[in-house]
Structure 1
């Protein structure tokens, strides 16, 4: 079947492509081919030839298609309209150009296809707040949208226009109304900010001391992969009648807004709300300019609702496909952490050649290669991303970069013993893999790697430690609350100066600049500030180390040590192991990634 898809490079569209391309020829409307190519290149090679770009523009007359492309689209069997910006602050003219104008162009294309050969199906992705459904779509109620914000008004007018137009032509229309679209149902990965991230950002900045609306309000949500699978199921199914599908759970099966904010606060390690505020009052306050000042659009409050929505048509598709499209509660902490990380690093993406995956309860950046996994564990004030330059110099090695709990994109473990929680998390991942791995740990990550090897020696093929923590650190980090408060006010210039004075870094460089800015961005998050403070506090205690190197298989262990490190040393009980000393400080894997990768390659047993 030939499918014409709008929004193919958007949040929903890029997930939908992989669902459609295995069975259909998909023509994707794009302004430029390059953005689509970057998405297509990540798909299986057998799917890639089935995705073809069509140069055009939703906001232009006739979708910006030239005569040749327009005639080519007349062979379309199915139109899927998933295009349009996710920007609730659009002006009226911008919203009209983004939603109503494209609807009229697509209806004209549908009409031309239908008269030429017959259009089998039209799928329109709208939103759960649209007031239209099969029972009222033909009535004259568009005037009721006059008081709606521009974004919603034009999006819903487009819904109305398409419904009425296709009904007149007797073309089957499936209107898909996703609720607030959140991350993948297992990994939590959420590429698009907006929606839930507005709430998360408000909570992490302590701007939600009061619950908007109270316990009777809720935020309907749906996982992005569920949206894509649901639309694909509609596309694969022939003979469907026109219908509306709300992609959300029932109110009874969903957390109230109070419970949701409490969960977010727990994961972000910040204060829970202590009261409630009337939603109309909150909207009024935000609309008086406070919303712009705080970065909380008044329109974002419109997604909080009291009402319930009909889900019977969704349940019918679930039964037909033998799939479930419900929110996975166990994944919500991963969604919160992923969005928290993305808010810290807006506009930064340095991992194009790596795939983000969830391994048990850890997030991993992986190269999708064969061979024994070489698993990197980072230190404190770090995350998987800081080790990307090392992995880049090991391009032929199956490297996995782990975000340890509470760092990067991985939720905090919430175990009573901080260090044991890390050891448990990494051990659980390796046990689930059930095959030998190589562990490479830097600093605190080296300690965790060694503890894991002691617990599961048969599954550790090799242990490589880069400046590992092998003894309790200075007691100045003992009081967690003090450290957390200090971290809140860290400035780049001061951090850079301290790193050089302590010989963590030996000299100024691009890597030092990148690291400093990464650390300062991370410390915007109370989750990451709390995690660093907690780990540093526990590392002041001798019970956190619990290493017995005399019992290690020394043929498995290699240590790379920067002997200019002022704060750490190698205890005598480790001197029998293979140790290579180099003239650098504690952060040498970050300061000298190419040299570190070269040394790792020399000792690696793959």
Structure 2
């Protein structure tokens, strides 16, 4: 939301020509963005008044829209007349086009809830549109499974009861609402277009989603290793459409449709069948795709606790194909084409992971790239970063977010191979880091926390011409070895896998109050440790790092490092091993007051100040090329209960 000092929204100087109902919803806000970008004056119907107005405008501005052409009105589609005040109703007298994107999309709805929004709401929108003296067209959003057959409304009570029992409240109400609008539009002489989109997923360029149910649930189960089999058959078809394609299509409808009724099914017919679709997503995310198939007839007989599937979703598991000819003609006339569907799926799936499937939307979004055989999660500036931030254990790169926001130059972040969101590498960590930094054309400051100190130090020693400075935060090899339990991989893996967010936060940050950002980061890490193999790989890394010979090698490498090295430690987690001194360079130790082993979580503002004071990141464009510099980092790269064990001392 805007701050208290944000300027109040201005009323457009022109009267609105278009009304979007459901303007704060997933489809609605992208449609408003498209209409404003076309130069139209748009009225957005929002439920919630000034608060929702501020949220919508902030989102639009973040996406480059000029919101001076936006008028918001408080509306409620479940009420006759849309619940508009007389003043707002009069302000909308000039509306020519009405888009009804409002609906209640959720499985498990009661029949009354679904009917109020998806049937009564659709009829209220139609009847209100019929009162507009300049009305050109009502565009009603339905769904691709609704169909284009004869509309019957109302159904005999026993048939309606059977439909709701068979399909569930959501789909049954969408079918009823579609029929109701088509039947009544003729009697009210309202020019109507019904648009039936398939599963609407992310933006074709950024992957941005904003909706985390339906097919997104399946991707979430795949990501967390909870998808042992796929529903349906090898020909199951769950078609998708990019949200930006749908928004452009909707915006074009009033200019291209005429006559009393048009019906368009909007989906990308090039969508792969479900097993292939899941395989594409799995390969991009670096997880294993299920090979088994379970027919829906079997799934319907199994309890939900076994299938982990909402029964209402099973009606979407079908081999049916759909007639898109009318939509294809309109799109061709409007100069609109579907983006490449495989690229779309990869970008969307990566964005779902970045958003933690809705738990942490709005954070800097990363993507998955191939590095040393790992499908690695990489975020931030990839060509000319001022900083490269490498995380320790058991966190991932999100642990740096509160620091990144405060640094004076852009940063590159990545999850180390086999940790966080990155799959294991076939090459070494040194090779992985070399490939990560190959496309970088600046001489960044490398900031490595704890366990990442080793590979960062090795890279700086091998490539001093590509690093301006090295900052080691709580380098583990200059601290005492942790307790034996942490160095015993099976015990550590069990503790990590079962650790709750509160337990892990206590282990990493100690007792006392913690900021919301730190809590969210640790909660995400705790969830990530439950993904298949992550806790085991983390535990093995903890064990291997503590070998005396490895610690001695790093101490010697620190002594001979040819680039400036700075050491940072928390007040309550000091460096207790003698720092090797290289007469040629200084190795000052900067202490962060009040901090422990994770100052990036507990004291991000102070750590950012320290980094800004100690470093002078440069971004020259004349670095020598090397054999790896052509490596592309693109997002379309094809390839419980708290344990009762003692407090976990996870230093690296």
Q: Which residue number corresponds to residue 129 of structure 2?
A: 110
| Structure 2 length-normalised TM | 0.74
Q: Which residue number corresponds to residue 26 of structure 2?
A: 11
Q: 8 Å contact 1:99–1:158 — kept in the other structure?
A: yes
**1:33-44 to 2 correspondences below 5 Å:** 33-44=50-61
Q: 8 Å contact 1:562–1:586 — kept in the other structure?
A: yes
Q: 1:594 aligns with which of 597, 605, 615?
A: 605
Q: Are residue 488 (structure 1) and residue 503 (structure 2) matched? A: no
Q: 2:379 aligns with which of 364, 368, 371?
A: 364
Q: 8 Å contact 1:374–1:437 — kept in the other structure?
A: yes
Q: Are residue 297 (structure 1) and residue 310 (structure 2) matched? A: yes
Q: After the TM superposition, which of the residue ranges 181-190 and 589-598 deviates more from structure 2?
A: 181-190
Q: 8 Å contact 2:395–2:522 — kept in the other structure?
A: no
2:91 and 2:179 map into 1 onto residues whose CA distance is 28
1:566 and 1:292 map into 2 onto residues whose CA distance is 48
CA deviation digits over 1:107-147, x for unaligned, max 9? 1122111xx22x22322222111122xxx345779677634
Aligned to 2:365, the other structure's residue is in SS state strand
Q: Are residue 580 (structure 1) and residue 592 (structure 2) matched? A: no
Q: 1:275 aligns with which of 283, 292, 304?
A: 292
Q: 8 Å contact 2:210–2:358 — kept in the other structure?
A: no
CA distance 1:518–1:201, change in 2 (3 Å): closer
Q: After the TM superposition, which of the residue ranges 336-345 and 376-385 deviates more from structure 2?
A: 336-345
CA distance 1:64–1:513, change in 2 (3 Å): closer
1:574 and 1:441 map into 2 onto residues whose CA distance is 20
Q: Are residue 603 (structure 1) and residue 614 (structure 2) matched? A: yes
Q: Which residue number corresponds to residue 17 of structure 2?
A: 2
Q: Which residue number corresponds to residue 311 of structure 1?
A: 324
CA deviation digits over 1:234-281, x for unaligned, max 9? 36x45556543333232xx43333334455666777665353322122
Deviation at 1:305, TM superposition (A): 1.5
Q: 1:440 aligns with which of 439, 444, 447?
A: 447
Q: Which residue number corresponds to residue 87 of structure 1?
A: 106
Q: 8 Å contact 1:176–1:245 — kept in the other structure?
A: yes
Q: Are residue 377 (structure 1) and residue 383 (structure 2) matched? A: no
**1:394-473 to 2 correspondences below 5 Å:** 394=407, 397-400=408-411, 402-404=413-415, 412=422, 415-417=425-427, 419-420=429-430, 422-423=432-433, 426-427=436-437, 430-431=439-440, 434=441, 437-447=444-454, 460=467, 462-468=469-475
Q: After the TM superposition, which of the residue ranges 321-330 and 187-196 deviates more from structure 2?
A: 321-330
Q: Which residue number corresponds to residue 162 of structure 1?
A: 181
2:380 and 2:143 map into 1 onto residues whose CA distance is 32
Aligned to 1:38, the other structure's residue is in SS state helix
CA deviation digits over 1:360-384, x for unaligned, max 9? 7755369xxxx97545333332234
1:314 and 1:255 map into 2 onto residues whose CA distance is 19
2:501 and 2:189 map into 1 onto residues whose CA distance is 63
1:538 and 1:304 map into 2 onto residues whose CA distance is 46
Q: Are residue 192 (structure 1) and residue 211 (structure 2) matched? A: yes
**1:155-234 to 2 correspondences below 5 Å:** 155-167=174-186, 171-203=190-222, 207-234=226-253
Deviation at 1:292, TM superposition (A): 6.1
Q: 8 Å contact 2:229–2:291 — kept in the other structure?
A: yes
Deviation at 1:594, TM superposition (A): 2.8
CA distance 1:270–1:64, change in 2 (3 Å): same
Q: 8 Å contact 1:487–1:523 — kept in the other structure?
A: yes
| Structure 1 length-normalised TM | 0.79
Q: 1:389 aligns with which of 388, 402, 411?
A: 402
1:9 and 1:91 map into 2 onto residues whose CA distance is 23
Q: 8 Å contact 1:427–1:456 — kept in the other structure?
A: no
CA distance 1:255–1:139, change in 2 (3 Å): same
Q: Are residue 522 (structure 1) and residue 535 (structure 2) matched? A: no
2:566 and 2:77 map into 1 onto residues whose CA distance is 57
Deviation at 1:461, TM superposition (A): 5.1
Q: 8 Å contact 2:555–2:580 — kept in the other structure?
A: no
1:322 and 1:424 map into 2 onto residues whose CA distance is 43
Q: 8 Å contact 1:56–1:65 — kept in the other structure?
A: yes
Q: After the TM superposition, which of the residue ranges 42-51 and 56-65 deviates more from structure 2?
A: 42-51
2:389 and 2:563 map into 1 onto residues whose CA distance is 20
1:469 and 1:574 map into 2 onto residues whose CA distance is 19
Aligned to 2:300, the other structure's residue is in SS state helix
The alignment covers a number of residue pairs equal to 573
Q: Which residue number corresponds to residue 4 of structure 2?
A: none
Aligned to 1:112, the other structure's residue is in SS state coil
Q: Which residue number corresponds to residue 137 of structure 2?
A: 121
CA deviation digits over 1:180-227, x for unaligned, max 9? 222333443332221123223444565543332221213222233332
1:592 and 1:230 map into 2 onto residues whose CA distance is 48
CA distance 1:206–1:445, change in 2 (3 Å): closer
CA distance 1:87–1:49, change in 2 (3 Å): same
1:211 and 1:227 map into 2 onto residues whose CA distance is 27
Q: 2:276 aligns with which of 230, 239, 259?
A: 259
Q: 8 Å contact 2:198–2:241 — kept in the other structure?
A: yes
1:267 and 1:567 map into 2 onto residues whose CA distance is 40
CA distance 1:187–1:380, change in 2 (3 Å): farther
1:480 and 1:230 map into 2 onto residues whose CA distance is 55
